[in-house]
Amino acid sequence: HQQPITEMHCEGGRVLTGGQDHVLKVFSSSDLNPLFTLHGHCGPITSCFIDHANPTIGGSGSQDGLLCVWDLHTGACLYSMQAHDGAVTSLAYTASYVVSAGADERLCIWDRFQGHMLNSIHIGLNYMSRMLPLTHTLLVMGDRSGLTVYDLSSGDVIRRVLLGKYHFIRL
Protein backbone atom coordinates (compact mmCIF):
# COMPACT_ATOMS: atom_id res chain seq x y z
CA HIS A 1 0.00 0.00 0.00
CA GLN A 2 1.08 3.55 -0.70
CA GLN A 3 -1.23 4.99 1.98
CA PRO A 4 -2.55 3.72 5.35
CA ILE A 5 -4.39 0.40 5.58
CA THR A 6 -8.02 1.00 6.56
CA GLU A 7 -9.47 -2.54 6.49
CA MET A 8 -8.15 -6.06 7.03
CA HIS A 9 -9.60 -9.57 7.07
CA CYS A 10 -7.97 -12.99 7.44
CA GLU A 11 -9.49 -16.32 6.40
CA GLY A 12 -8.52 -19.55 4.68
CA GLY A 13 -4.79 -18.90 4.41
CA ARG A 14 -5.20 -15.40 3.01
CA VAL A 15 -5.00 -11.89 4.43
CA LEU A 16 -6.98 -9.22 2.58
CA THR A 17 -6.09 -5.57 3.22
CA GLY A 18 -7.69 -2.42 1.89
CA GLY A 19 -6.22 1.04 2.03
CA GLN A 20 -6.71 4.73 1.52
CA ASP A 21 -4.82 4.22 -1.75
CA HIS A 22 -8.00 2.68 -3.32
CA VAL A 23 -6.49 -0.82 -3.69
CA LEU A 24 -6.72 -4.15 -1.91
CA LYS A 25 -3.85 -6.55 -1.43
CA VAL A 26 -4.00 -10.30 -0.92
CA PHE A 27 -1.25 -11.97 1.10
CA SER A 28 -0.51 -15.55 2.10
CA SER A 29 -1.19 -15.78 5.84
CA SER A 30 1.60 -18.32 6.37
CA ASP A 31 4.48 -16.09 5.24
CA LEU A 32 2.79 -12.76 4.34
CA ASN A 33 4.06 -13.00 0.77
CA PRO A 34 1.98 -10.79 -1.53
CA LEU A 35 -0.25 -12.70 -3.95
CA PHE A 36 -2.31 -10.00 -5.71
CA THR A 37 -3.01 -6.30 -5.84
CA LEU A 38 -6.69 -5.74 -6.62
CA HIS A 39 -7.65 -2.61 -8.57
CA GLY A 40 -11.23 -1.54 -9.11
CA HIS A 41 -12.15 1.11 -6.56
CA CYS A 42 -11.99 4.88 -7.05
CA GLY A 43 -11.95 5.76 -3.36
CA PRO A 44 -10.49 4.59 -0.04
CA ILE A 45 -11.51 1.08 1.01
CA THR A 46 -14.08 1.18 3.83
CA SER A 47 -14.97 -2.51 4.25
CA CYS A 48 -13.82 -5.95 3.15
CA PHE A 49 -14.45 -9.64 3.78
CA ILE A 50 -13.21 -13.10 2.86
CA ASP A 51 -15.88 -15.79 2.64
CA HIS A 52 -15.48 -18.26 5.52
CA ALA A 53 -17.03 -21.19 3.61
CA ASN A 54 -15.25 -20.40 0.33
CA PRO A 55 -12.10 -18.37 1.14
CA THR A 56 -11.26 -17.90 -2.55
CA ILE A 57 -14.08 -15.31 -2.66
CA GLY A 58 -13.82 -11.85 -1.11
CA GLY A 59 -15.64 -8.57 -1.24
CA SER A 60 -14.88 -4.90 -0.73
CA GLY A 61 -16.62 -1.57 -0.45
CA SER A 62 -15.25 1.92 -0.79
CA GLN A 63 -15.89 5.55 -0.01
CA ASP A 64 -17.12 6.14 -3.57
CA GLY A 65 -20.01 3.67 -3.03
CA LEU A 66 -18.59 0.87 -5.18
CA LEU A 67 -19.01 -2.78 -4.15
CA CYS A 68 -16.67 -5.38 -5.69
CA VAL A 69 -16.61 -9.17 -5.35
CA TRP A 70 -13.27 -10.82 -6.06
CA ASP A 71 -11.84 -14.21 -6.96
CA LEU A 72 -8.94 -14.36 -4.50
CA HIS A 73 -7.46 -17.39 -6.27
CA THR A 74 -6.90 -15.47 -9.54
CA GLY A 75 -7.16 -11.82 -8.45
CA ALA A 76 -10.02 -11.20 -10.91
CA CYS A 77 -12.99 -8.96 -10.15
CA LEU A 78 -16.08 -11.16 -10.53
CA TYR A 79 -18.44 -8.19 -10.54
CA SER A 80 -18.71 -4.64 -9.29
CA MET A 81 -21.57 -2.21 -8.95
CA GLN A 82 -22.38 1.24 -7.71
CA ALA A 83 -23.99 0.05 -4.48
CA HIS A 84 -24.58 3.34 -2.67
CA ASP A 85 -24.72 7.09 -3.17
CA GLY A 86 -21.84 7.77 -0.82
CA ALA A 87 -19.58 5.44 1.12
CA VAL A 88 -20.16 1.75 1.69
CA THR A 89 -19.96 1.68 5.48
CA SER A 90 -20.23 -2.06 6.11
CA LEU A 91 -20.41 -5.41 4.33
CA ALA A 92 -21.68 -8.83 5.36
CA TYR A 93 -22.21 -12.04 3.43
CA THR A 94 -24.09 -15.32 3.67
CA ALA A 95 -24.27 -18.38 1.45
CA SER A 96 -26.77 -16.58 -0.82
CA TYR A 97 -26.35 -12.84 -0.23
CA VAL A 98 -23.92 -9.97 -0.01
CA VAL A 99 -25.30 -7.19 2.18
CA SER A 100 -24.06 -3.61 2.13
CA ALA A 101 -24.88 -0.64 4.33
CA GLY A 102 -24.14 2.84 3.10
CA ALA A 103 -23.88 6.48 4.04
CA ASP A 104 -27.03 6.96 1.92
CA GLU A 105 -28.98 5.40 4.84
CA ARG A 106 -29.76 2.22 2.88
CA LEU A 107 -29.22 -1.47 3.52
CA CYS A 108 -28.88 -3.27 0.17
CA ILE A 109 -29.25 -7.00 -0.33
CA TRP A 110 -27.47 -8.44 -3.39
CA ASP A 111 -27.54 -11.82 -5.07
CA ARG A 112 -24.15 -13.18 -4.15
CA PHE A 113 -23.51 -14.98 -7.43
CA GLN A 114 -24.79 -12.51 -10.05
CA GLY A 115 -24.53 -9.21 -8.17
CA HIS A 116 -28.16 -8.23 -8.79
CA MET A 117 -29.84 -6.04 -6.18
CA LEU A 118 -32.67 -7.96 -4.53
CA ASN A 119 -33.79 -5.39 -2.00
CA SER A 120 -33.02 -1.90 -0.72
CA ILE A 121 -34.19 -0.91 2.75
CA HIS A 122 -34.12 2.61 4.20
CA ILE A 123 -32.48 2.32 7.63
CA GLY A 124 -31.92 5.97 8.52
CA LEU A 125 -28.95 7.54 10.24
CA ASN A 126 -29.25 5.72 13.57
CA TYR A 127 -27.63 2.47 12.47
CA MET A 128 -24.19 1.25 13.50
CA SER A 129 -21.86 0.26 10.71
CA ARG A 130 -21.44 -3.28 12.10
CA MET A 131 -23.82 -6.03 10.99
CA LEU A 132 -23.62 -9.79 11.49
CA PRO A 133 -25.34 -12.69 9.75
CA LEU A 134 -27.15 -14.98 12.20
CA THR A 135 -28.04 -17.61 9.58
CA HIS A 136 -27.92 -17.76 5.79
CA THR A 137 -31.12 -15.63 5.67
CA LEU A 138 -31.06 -13.61 8.93
CA LEU A 139 -28.94 -10.55 9.66
CA VAL A 140 -28.68 -8.52 12.87
CA MET A 141 -27.78 -4.84 12.85
CA GLY A 142 -27.38 -2.44 15.75
CA ASP A 143 -28.51 1.15 16.01
CA ARG A 144 -28.75 3.77 18.74
CA SER A 145 -31.95 2.30 20.14
CA GLY A 146 -31.22 -1.44 19.98
CA LEU A 147 -30.91 -4.39 17.61
CA THR A 148 -32.84 -5.16 14.44
CA VAL A 149 -33.03 -8.59 12.81
CA TYR A 150 -33.76 -8.65 9.06
CA ASP A 151 -34.96 -11.53 6.89
CA LEU A 152 -32.67 -11.19 3.87
CA SER A 153 -34.94 -13.23 1.60
CA SER A 154 -37.82 -10.75 2.02
CA GLY A 155 -36.14 -7.63 3.41
CA ASP A 156 -38.60 -7.62 6.32
CA VAL A 157 -37.78 -6.72 9.91
CA ILE A 158 -38.23 -9.91 11.95
CA ARG A 159 -37.49 -8.56 15.42
CA ARG A 160 -36.49 -5.38 17.25
CA VAL A 161 -34.83 -5.48 20.67
CA LEU A 162 -34.78 -2.08 22.35
CA LEU A 163 -31.95 -1.01 24.65
CA GLY A 164 -32.96 -0.86 28.29
CA LYS A 165 -35.99 -3.11 27.80
CA TYR A 166 -34.18 -6.22 29.07
CA HIS A 167 -31.91 -6.22 32.13
CA PHE A 168 -29.01 -7.85 30.27
CA ILE A 169 -28.64 -4.94 27.84
CA ARG A 170 -29.53 -2.06 30.16
CA LEU A 171 -26.92 0.71 30.13
Segment-wise mean pLDDT, segments of 10 residues, the chain, 171 residues = 92 96 97 96 97 94 97 96 95 94 94 93 78 94 88 94 66 43
Supply the Cα-derived Rg of the chain in whole angstroms. 16
**What's residue 168's pLDDT?**
55
The reported pLDDT for the residue numbered 171 is 43
Whether residue 49 contacts residue 58, with contact meaning beta carbons closer than 8 Å, is answered with: yes
What pLDDT does residue 166 have?
59
pLDDT of residue 130: 82
Task: Read off the amino acid at residue 28.
Answer: S
Q: Smallest Cα–Cα separation from 128: which of 144, 108, 139, 140?
A: 144
Q: Which fold has domain 5-125?
A: Methylamine Dehydrogenase; Chain H (2.130.10)
Distance of CA 61 to the CA centre of its chain: 7
Q: Give the amino acid at 160.
A: R
What distance in Å separates the CA atoms of residue 27 and residue 44, rounded to the nearest whole number? Answer: 19
The pTM of this model reads: 0.87
Query: Could you give the CA distance from residue 105 to residue 127 in angstroms, rounded to a whole number?
Result: 8
- Quote the DSSP letter at residue 161: E
Strands (E), the chain: 5-11, 14-19, 24-28, 34-38, 45-50, 57-62, 66-71, 76-82, 88-93, 97-102, 106-111, 117-122, 127-133, 138-143, 146-151, 157-162
So where are the chain's domains?
5-125
